Amino acid sequence: MPAKQFIGIQILRFVAAMLVVVMHTTEAISVRITGAGPDHYWTGGAIGVDIFFVISGFVMAMSTAKSPSGNQTHLQAAWIFLKRRFLRVAPLYWFYTLIKTALVLILPSLALRSSIDAEHLLASMLFIPVISPWGLVQPTLPVGWTLNFEMLFYLVFAIGIAWGVARIKFCFLVFLLIFVAAQLFPESVALNFYGRTLLFEFILGMGIAHVCLNYPPVSPKLGLLGAVIGTMLLIGFNWGDQVHSFSTWEIGAGFMVLAAVWLEPWVARLRLASRLSFLGDSSYSIYLSHTFVVPFGVLMLKKLGFQESLLIVPIIFLAVIAAGCLSYVLIETPLINFFKRAFFKRPGFSL
C-alpha cells in the first residue's frame, strides 16, 4: 500500500522549489543584466533547500513506517527502499547532467561555470562530492549538491532498515559522527561537505513523522500558528544562517513542515487541491530544469530590452513552472515508468 500523500506537503515542496528558482533568477539578473556580479542577489531563496530536506526526512519516515510484509526480511526491505529512491532520483538527474554537459561544450557562454572534466563528471553522476574545475565542491549540474545529501540520507536510512533499529536514533548518531569527524579532519573534502547542520534537517522531518504516527492529530488552527512561527524564523528577521550551530532557518523549516501537516484537513478541502498537488509532483523536475530555463530566459529577455527585475522575475517564474510541468509529464514520468519495469517485477509501488 502506498503511503498517504499530504497535499499540504506537496504544496510546500513546490514553494521550496520556487524559492530556489527566484534566488537563481536574481543571480542571473545580477550577472547578465545589471552587471553587479555573482555575489549580489537574493540569497534568501536558499531556505527552500532547508524545507526540502525536512520534507525528505518526513516522507521517508512516513513511507516506511510499517514493518516488512510477508516473508520479506529487513535486508530485502532496505534493498527495495534503496532501489526505489535511486530510481526516483538518479535517472532525471543524469538526464539533465548530460544535457548540461552537452550545452556547456556546445554553448559555453550560457553557463556561469563552463568547465567540464571527465573525472568530475563521473563523480557527479555517482553522487560523490569532489572539488569541481571551478574550485567549489559542486557537481556538474550545481544544484545537484543537494542530491548528494539526499543520497547519503537514503544510504544511512536504508542501513537502519536493514538492521531493524530505531531509525531516528540511528540516523542521528551517524550524522552526529559525521559532523564531529568533519571538525576533527578539516582536510577531508567529503567530510567537510557533509559535516554541516543541514544533515539534522532530515532528523527533524523524521521527528515530525514520528509525532504524526504516534500522537492524535491536532487542530488545524495550530497549523496556522506553526506557519507564522516558521515564517518569522525563516524570513521575518535577519537571523543569518550559522554554519556551526543549529540555525533558525533549519528550525523554521521544521515548523513549516509541521504546519503543512497540521493544516492538511483544511488544505485537502481546497478546490484547487489536486492542481496544487500536481505542482508538488512536478517540483523535482522544476528544481532540475530551472537551471536551464533561468539563464536562457534572462538572456532572451535582455535581448528583448527588459531591464526591470520586477518584470523579469515573474516572467521567468511562470516559464520555469511551465517547463517543469512539461518535464514531469514528458521526461520524468516516462523515465520512472521505464526503470520501474526494468528493475521491479511488480511495478505497482509508489515512489
pLDDT in tens, the chain (351 residues): 345 679 999 999 999 999 999 999 999 999 888 877 777 788 889 999 999 999 999 999 999 887 666 567 889 999 999 999 999 999 999 999 999 999 888 877 666 666 788 999 999 999 999 999 988 999 999 999 999 999 999 999 999 999 999 999 999 999 999 999 999 999 999 999 999 989 999 999 999 999 999 999 899 999 999 999 998 888 765 544 444 345 788 889 999 999 999 999 999 998 888 888 999 999 999 999 999 999 999 999 999 998 888 899 999 999 999 999 999 999 999 999 998 888 776 544 444
Q: How many residues does the chain have?
A: 351
Q: Which three cell numbers stand for residue 71?
A: 516473508
CA-based end-to-end distance of the chain: 11
> DSSP assignment, residue 110?
G
Q: Are 324 and 282 in contact (CB under 8 A)?
A: yes
To the nearest 10°, the Cα dihedral for 111, 117, 122, 127?
Answer: -50
Q: Which amino acid is at 295?
A: P
Candidates 181, 173, 254, 245; CA nearest to 211 is 254
Residue 68 CA from chain centroid, whole number = 27
- Cell 523554521 locates to 252
Q: What's the CA gap between 26 and 297, in Å, rounded?
A: 12
Count how many Cα atoms sit within 13 Å of the Cα of residue 3 in the half-sphere of its side chain: 17
| Per-residue pLDDT at 11 | 95
Contacts of 31 (CB under 8 A, 6+ apart): 37, 38, 112
Please report which residue ranges of the chain form alpha helices under DSSP H: 7-29, 47-63, 74-106, 118-125, 145-163, 167-184, 189-194, 199-214, 220-231, 248-262, 264-267, 273-281, 283-303, 309-327, 333-343
Query: What are φ and ψ of residue 30, in 5° steps?
Result: -65, -40
Query: What are φ and ψ of residue 2, in 5° steps?
Result: -70, 150
Query: What are φ and ψ of residue 231, in 5° steps?
Result: -65, -40
Q: Are 35 and 307 in contact (CB under 8 A)?
A: no
Q: What's the CA gap between 57 and 140, in Å, rounded?
A: 25
